[in-house]
Amino acid sequence: MKFIRTDIPDVIIIEPEVHGDERGYFIETFRQDKLEAFLGFKVHFCQDNESKSSKGVLRGLHYQLTPAAQTKLVRVISGRVLDVAVDIRKGSPTFGQYVATELSGENKRQMFIPRGFAHGFVVLEDDTVFAYKVDNYYSPENDRGVAFDDPSIGIDWKLDRNSLNLSGKDTKQPFLQDAELFEYSKVLY
């Protein structure tokens, strides 16, 4: 596995080693020992989630507040997404900045998103299957979000706004300046 720090060093791209031949392929999608050795701290994933979506579906930008804050390890099993992590840690040198990368069933890349980040993705291909691990259980009372179209963040979602398909919840999220956020000095991994 290859671990790549992004422009926001706490967000990591993981490229697994693909072993393939005419019969197909094999990859290790998760190695806790290698991830923890790279990060320098322990991660305890406790829940796996999966969604299937059509092109244009935008999910996000979501996060959970402490004590239910979540670290995520996300990947695409089949199809393609533009995956986005936004730093929402007040006081962070990268506050309000984001990392965006294409994850696909073909490139098999993954993104590690620590606590203190809002996460979202837009689906670029029909029948895309998206999967992720989290280190804390879903908590409706701690569920929060930031507007996907907040101009202060300025995410280029790569699709025309009129072609986006959002849930009712995601059309009503606050802008970053009005959202409940994390304190950079208090985010614990």
Active site residues: 62, 132
3-state class (DSSP) for residue 176: helix
Q: Tokens 């999608």 label which residue? A: 29
Q: What single letter denotes the amino acid at residue 63?
A: Y
Per-residue pLDDT of the chain (189 residues), as tens digits, is 999 999 999 999 999 999 999 999 999 999 999 999 999 999 999 999 999 999 999 999 999 999 999 999 999 999 999 999 999 999 999 999 999 999 999 999 999 999 999 999 999 999 999 999 999 999 999 999 999 999 999 999 999 999 999 999 999 999 999 999 999 987 766
In sign, the C-alpha dihedral spanning 176, 170, 62, 80 is: negative
In sign, the C-alpha dihedral spanning 180, 36, 185, 101 is: negative
pLDDT at 186: 76
pLDDT at 185: 82
Is residue 27 within 8 A of residue 17, CB to CB? The reply is yes
Domains and CATH numbers, the chain: 2-186 (2.60.120.10)
* Alpha-helix runs per DSSP H in 40-114: none
Q: What whole-number distance in Å separates Cα of residue 162 and Cα of residue 80?
A: 19
